[in-house]
Chain A
Amino acid sequence: MREIELRAAIREGLAQEMRRDETVCLVGEDIARYGGILGVTEGMLEEFGPERVVDMPISEAGFAGMAVGAALMGLRPVIEMQFTGLLTVAMDPLVNTGAKARYVHDGAMSVPMVVRSPHMMHGNAYMSQALEAWFAHIPGFKVVTPSTPADAKGLIVASIRDPDPVLFVEHEDLYATIGPVPEELFTAPFGEACVRREGVDVTVVAWLAAVPAADAAAGELAAQGISVEVIDPRTLVPFDSEAVLRSVRKTGRLVIVHEAVRRGGFGGEIAAMVAGSDVVSKLKAPIERVANPGVSVPHAKHLNRAVLPDKDDVIAAVKRTLGS
């Protein structure tokens, strides 16, 4: 199969779906003329024109609310929130108007919008936030977290077609990841985890940039005779609990890795789900979480590295579950 970058895979999914469905439109800062500050929407203005690919002023709250209104009227807006920290500026329209419209209309209306939210974790305390747990906490929002080019394409298309608001999380560090991606238009399913690597000793659940970190850790541990199973849930809402339970039933050990802050992070929800299931009796070690220990993400590179979880942190956590 042809191989492309994850960035190009998202772009291809967007473009193919826009050709198929003319209600899909793109809204955001620097997305039209410039092609996106991180280059995802390059060429979209040229192909789809300024009515469907619209540069916005610096008005995140305004255009998020606008997208909610347009989605209620049947458009399928895909808005780009440049960097994840900017979600905070648009929380009211997203959380209040967007996520609740179906509920308060008791199903008579819905908000088929997508919020593309690129994690840029090597930036600063403001922009470099991983806020997927905030949205997972909001009834009405779905949360999608692809880590491979094929998933990114299939899931962006599925997100656009989904009838409800979707937070589609991207990761700057993954944009250049190359992998096989079908050329035709396709969707990837929500709520279906993928086993990235099979193993029998320890289960590691990771998403976004934590997936390559977990995979690299698993590779190194394999050389030491430790067999790690890496599970990528691909979507956090809906979540494939069964895939995690199946794996932990086998391994008896669980490590959860994410770049978001540990306290209140989505890892806690997964740990609680496992602890509340019959699999709890199969656990041979306490559940480990590898995450930001609870600080804002610092700017200077050397501090930034110290805060964000990496391969070595995963290796250490896996070894703790093995008592070594």
Chain B
Amino acid sequence: MTRRQPLADEMSHRDALTADYLREMYRLMLLGRRFTERALELAAEQRLPVGMHPSAGQEAVGVGACFRLRPGDWVLPSLRTTEAFWTRGVTVLQMFNAIMGNAGSVNAGKESFHHSGYPDLGILAGSAIVGAQIPQAVGVAWAIKMKRIDNVAVCFFGDGAAGRGDFHEGLNLASLLKVPVVFVCENNLYFQTVPAAVGQPIEDIADRAASYAMPGQVVDGQDVLAVYDAVQTAVARARAGEGPTLLECKTYRFLGHYPSMLRDDRPPEEIAHWTKRDPISILGRHLEELGHQDGAAVEAVEAAIAKELDDSLRECEATPFADAKQAFTNVYGEPIEAMGL
């Protein structure tokens, strides 16, 4: 079982990434894709006791943004930032246990895997209220600033979340307090069933940064190295005490909003256009051009991932469901019976 460890060396941009690092990015994205596929198979067999939001197509954002975060940094994922979990060090077994609501899972089935928190890995549980994590991330960053440490908060959210008052209030506060937070918008052009253009009168959400006097940048969300570079710059700025940044990663979800949606009304040409911009193939081609990875190497990575998924799923299936009694714990620090009524 592999658990990704934080990198020991100093921050650097893409040119300084070694071949090993590039291959690691590739593996993390591919792991995300194959995990999603497995989970969807389980969903189709009605074996998933929990819901999920497939991240397929958007893997570059979570991997690129979290790749070089440090211990002590905090990540607040969106409903779709599955790759933040791998990249911060969550294991495949942990994810399967979470997705099954197993006894050994991080929250005993109380919440879905995508809203699970792993405090020891610097991941806060997300709320199902879209965008709620934005002001919360400002608070996390404010606390970091108060503690006079050079950590950062990285907050992910969708284009839909940018319609919330929480987005506007959060960015305003972050700028006023000059706190170390990086806002990473995963603009996948839809919020649930509605095209982003119906929800916002502007093309680029990054433009909104101007209202809050912070840098705003549109990033190619299918290019993991572009995401990586943009986040490196924003993180450096945050660590240096210069305040927040808004990054808008243009991306696309290859699959439906969630597995049991009634329909997917997105135009087939649009889906076809974007599936040609698969973040995994884009990095794969780059690696090949650099001579860092050939077909045989890709097969080996695939095989290793398949084995890890098989082994973890087997172990997960041998684990019992969380005891229903756990549904009644951790409402308060004391048992609910102590509340008198």
A263 to B338, CA, bound (A): 13
- Cβ B200 vs Cβ A298 within 8 A: no
Q: Is B91 an interface residue (CB 8 A)?
A: no
Residue from B161, B193, B200, B321 within 8 A of A34 (CB atoms)? B193
Q: How far is the CB of B267 from chain A (nearest CB, A)?
A: 13
* B210 contacts chain A at the CB level, 8 A cutoff: no
- Within 8 Å of chain A (Cβ to Cβ): is B254? no
The reply to whether B192 and A37 contact each other, CB–CB distance below 8 Å, is yes
Partner of B115, one of A62, A124, A300: A124
B57 within 8 A of A: no
A299 within 8 A of B: yes
Given contacts A57-B199, A298-B109, contact A34 B327 (CB under 8 A): no
Quick one: which of A20-38 are within 8 Å of B by CB? 29-30, 33-34, 37
B191 touches A57 (CB 8 A): yes
The complex places the Cα of A306 from the Cα of B49 at a distance, in Å, of: 14
| A127: min CB distance to chain B, Å | 6
B265 and A299 contacting across the interface, CB-CB below 8 Å: no
Min Cβ gap B329→A in Å is 8
- B101 to A300, Cβ gap below 8 A? yes
Q: Which residues of A have CB within 8 Å of B198?
A: 33, 55, 57
- Assess whether A294 is interfacial by the CB under 8 Å rule: yes
Interface size class of A (residues with CB under 8 A): 35 or more
What 1/0 mask marks residues of chain B from 298 to 327 whose CB sits below 8 Å from any chain A CB? 000000000000000000000001101111
Q: Does B216 contact A (CB under 8 A)?
A: no
Within 8 A of A (CB), among B63-77: none
Cα separation A186 to B169 with both chains bound (whole Å)? 44
Q: Which chain B residues lie closer than 8 Å to A295 at the CB level?
A: 327-328, 331, 336
Q: Does A307 contact B (CB under 8 A)?
A: yes
**Could you tell me the distance in whole angstroms from the C-beta of B335 to the nearest C-beta in chain A?**
10
Contact A303 B327 (CB under 8 A): yes
B55 close to A (CB within 8 Å): no
Minimum C-beta distance from B128 to chain A (A): 4
Question: In the complex, what residue of chain A is closest to B339 when comparing beta carbons?
Answer: A294
B128/A85 in contact, CB under 8 A: yes
Q: Say yes or no: A58 contacts B111, CB within 8 Å.
A: no
A59 close to B (CB within 8 Å)? yes
The residue that B49 contacts in the complex, of A61, A85, A300, A307, with Cβ under 8 A, is A300
Chain A positions 78-105 with a Cβ under 8 Å from a chain B Cβ: 85-86, 88-89
Q: Which residue of B101, B336, B339 contacts A302 across the interface (Cβ within 8 Å)? A: B101
Per-residue B-contact encoding for A238-282, CB less than 8 Å = 1, 0 else: 000000000000000000000000110000000000000000000
Q: Are B115 and A263 in contact (CB under 8 A)?
A: no
With A301-B49, A303-B109 already in contact, the answer to whether A86 and B129 are too (CB < 8 A) is: yes
Q: A293 near B49 (CB under 8 angstroms)?
A: no
Q: Restricting to A287-324, which residues have a CB under 8 Å from any CB of B?
A: 293-296, 298-307
Q: Are A29 and B339 in contact (CB under 8 A)?
A: no
The CA-CA distance from A299 to B116 in the complex, in Å, is 11
Q: Is A48 an interface residue (CB 8 A)?
A: no
Interface residue B130 (Cβ < 8 Å from any Cβ of A) = yes
B341 A263 Cβ-Cβ under 8 A: yes
A307 to B110, CA, bound (A): 11
In the docked arrangement, what's the CA distance between A89 and B127, Å?
12
A151 CB, nearest partner CB in chain B, Å: 25
Specify the chain B residue showing the minimal Cβ separation from A263: B341
Check: A134 CB closer than 8 A to any chain B CB: no
A55 to B195, CA, bound (A): 10
Q: Using known A-B contacts A263-B341, A299-B101, A302-B101, determine if residue A127 contacts B109 with beta carbons closer than 8 Å.
A: no
A34 touches B128 (CB 8 A): no
* Residues of A contacting B161 in the complex (Cβ-Cβ under 8 angstroms): 58
The distance in angstroms between the C-alpha atoms of A302 and B324, with both chains bound, is 6
| Interface residue? B50 (CB, 8 A) | yes
A33-B199 in contact given A62-B165, A301-B49 (Cβ < 8 Å): no
A38 to chain B, nearest CB (A): 9
- Neighbour of A126 across the interface among B100, B127, B324, B336, CB < 8 A: B127
- Whether a CB of chain B sits under 8 angstroms from the CB of A189 is no
Cβ of A39 within 8 Å of any chain B Cβ, yes or no, is: yes
Q: Is B149 an interface residue (CB 8 A)?
A: no
Q: Does A285 contact B (CB under 8 A)?
A: no
Contact of A296 among B100, B101, B110 (CB under 8 A): B110
Instruction: Find chain A residues with CB under 8 A from B89 CB.
Output: none
Contact with B along A118-135 (1 / 0, CB 8 A): 000001111100000000
B322→A124 contact, CB < 8 A: no
CB distance from B130 to the nearest CB of A (A): 5
Q: Is the CB of B324 within 8 A of A29?
A: no
How far is B260's CA from A39's CA once the two chains are assembled, in angstroms? 13
- Does B104 reach chain A (CB closer than 8 Å)? no
* A residues less than 8 Å from B321 (CB atoms): 300, 302
Q: A80 vs B161: C-alpha distance in the bound complex, in angstroms? A: 18
Residues of B within 8 A of A39 (CB): 262
B194 within 8 A of A: yes
Note all chain B residues with C-beta closer than 8 A to A303: 101, 108-110, 322, 324, 326-327
CA distance in complex: A118, B326 (Å): 27
Cβ distance A253 to chain B, nearest Cβ, rounded Å: 22
Does B259 sit at the interface, judged by CB under 8 A?
no
User: Is B101 within 8 A of A293, CB to CB?
Assistant: no
List the A residue with the shortest CB-CB distance to B112.
A299
- Between B115, B193, B326, B327, the greatest number of chain A beta carbons within 10 A of the residue's beta carbon is seen for B327
A62, A85, A302: most-surrounded residue (chain B CB, <10 A): A302
Please name all residues of chain B whose beta carbon is closer than 8 Å to the beta carbon of A304 when the two chains form the complex: 327
Give chain B's interface residues, CB within 8 Å of chain A. Answer: 49-51, 100-101, 108-112, 115, 127-131, 160-161, 163-165, 191-194, 198-200, 262-263, 265, 321-322, 324-328, 331, 336, 339, 341
Q: Closest 4 CB pairs between A and B?
A: A300-B101, A300-B109, A57-B163, A57-B199
On A, residues with C-beta under 8 Å from B are: 29-30, 33-34, 37, 39, 55-59, 61-62, 85-86, 88-89, 123-127, 262-263, 293-296, 298-307
